[in-house]
């Protein structure tokens, strides 16, 4: 049976990568929503004019793409119901460059709106929630992880943070802290819904590493980000593995998603074990 997949934040970088990849699979019918059809701000942040001039959002066909705000409960509900969506890949979020108010409105309230709607639909089977390694970026504020933020090679082996370690937001500034907390909030909300026996939806929280436009770790300056870098190919592999193993997975799970990087400090052993995820790429110190 063909699965109908809705991707929120479809005009963003990760949305475009996944739309292009998943659309090649005849087993998936891809839908998308975003509040606009322009390039997301992430493209501007990488500051690569040659890429920006060529890049256009990669979107589903016009009849399967909707302009919709994440807080528009009525329209969001209508899109999900009318198209009998089976799987939601929830990417829609504003970045840590936004105000605290906007972060809380879209990343927190918008996510709750989506989850509230989805959990009332019998045809929804799974939600893949795009969390972030920034949910644990607070660990970078202390050694031995602090060295990575200064591009200093650590003098000792790094104990890897696992999904069983407590989340820890960064305190770099108010917006960054709000962004980190918004991802932690999304995970906790997913866990709450998954613990409800009356809800049969599976919630997979993907703590995505640093994904950049050029798909090149050398364009990521700080090793705190480069050590969590995730290639486009490894991102697509992860999503493929989740979709292929959907019925074997627990009702709630968190995974760190990154490539095979030097001085990696987040652990994805459960990703290997549950999904047979094997990164093909990596960032190397030298």
CA distances from 152 to 133, 141, 239, 265 (A): 20, 14, 33, 14
Q: Which range of residues forms the domain containing residue 254?
A: 3-275
- pTM given for the model: 0.94
Domain at 87, CATH number: 3.40.50.720
> Would you say residue 210 lies in a domain?
yes
> Would you say residue 284 lies in a domain?
no
Compute the distance between CA of residue 152 and CA of residue 35 in angstroms, rounded to an integer. 40
> Would you say residue 8 lies in a domain?
yes
Which of 118, 93, 115, 90 is closest to 6 using CA atoms? 90
- Dihedral sign (CA 1, 232, 282, 171): negative
Say if CB 107 and CB 186 are below 8 A apart: yes
Say if CB 14 and CB 211 are below 8 A apart: yes
Name the H helices within the chain: 13-22, 41-45, 49-54, 73-82, 100-103, 111-118, 146-149, 174-194, 223-226, 232-244, 269-275
Query: What is the full per-residue pLDDT of the chain (286 aa) written as tens digits?
Result: 899 999 999 988 999 999 999 999 999 999 999 997 766 666 555 655 555 445 566 777 778 999 999 999 999 999 999 999 999 999 999 999 899 999 999 999 999 999 999 999 999 999 999 999 999 999 999 999 999 999 999 888 899 999 999 999 999 999 999 999 999 999 999 999 999 999 999 999 999 999 999 999 999 999 999 999 999 999 999 999 999 999 999 999 999 999 999 999 999 999 999 999 999 999 999 7
> Would you say residue 229 lies in a domain?
yes
Domains in the chain, number: 1
Compute the distance between CA of residue 65 and CA of residue 140 in angstroms, rounded to an integer. 39
> Would you say residue 12 lies in a domain?
yes
> Would you say residue 282 lies in a domain?
no
Compute the distance between CA of residue 42 and CA of residue 36 in angstroms, rounded to an integer. 14
Say if CB 58 and CB 37 are below 8 A apart: no
Contacts of 31 (CB under 8 A, 6+ apart): 4, 5, 6, 7, 60, 64, 65, 66, 79, 83, 85
> Would you say residue 173 lies in a domain?
yes
> Would you say residue 285 lies in a domain?
no
58 by Cβ neighbours in 10 Å (0-12 / 13-18 / 19+) ranks as middle
């Amino acid at each position: 049976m063909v699965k109908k997949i809705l991707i929120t934040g479809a005009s963003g970088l990760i949305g475009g990568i996944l739309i292009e990849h998943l659309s090649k699979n005849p087993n998936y019918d891809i839908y998308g929503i975003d509040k606009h059809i322009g390039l997301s701000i992430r493209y501007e942040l990488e500051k690569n004019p040659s890429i920006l001039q060529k890049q256009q959002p990669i979107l589903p066909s016009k009849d399967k793409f909707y302009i919709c705000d994440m807080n528009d409960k009525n329209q969001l509900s209508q899109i999900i119901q009318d198209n009998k969506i089976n799987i939601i890949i929830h990417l829609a979020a504003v970045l840590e460059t936004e105000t605290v108010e906007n972060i809380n409105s879209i990343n927190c309230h918008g996510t709750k709106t989506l989850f509230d709607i989805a959990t009332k639909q019998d045809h929804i089977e799974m939600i893949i929630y795009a969390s972030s390694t920034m949910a644990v970026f607070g660990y970078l504020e202390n050694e031995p992880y602090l060295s990575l933020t200064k591009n200093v090679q650590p003098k000792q082996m790094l104990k890897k943070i696992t999904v069983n370690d407590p989340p820890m937001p960064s305190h770099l500034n108010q917006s960054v802290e709000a962004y980190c907390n918004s991802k932690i909030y999304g995970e906790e909300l997913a866990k709450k819904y998954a613990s409800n026996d009356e809800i049969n939806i599976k919630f997979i929280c993907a703590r995505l590493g640093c994904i950049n436009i050029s798909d090149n770790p050398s364009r990521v300056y700080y090793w705190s980000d480069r050590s969590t870098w995730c290639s486009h190919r490894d991102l697509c592999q992860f999503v493929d593995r989740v979709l292929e193993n959907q019925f074997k997975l627990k009702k709630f799970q968190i995974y760190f998603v990154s490539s095979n990087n030097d001085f990696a400090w987040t652990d994805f052993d459960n990703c290997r074990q549950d999904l047979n995820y094997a990164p093909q790429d990596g960032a190397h110190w030298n």
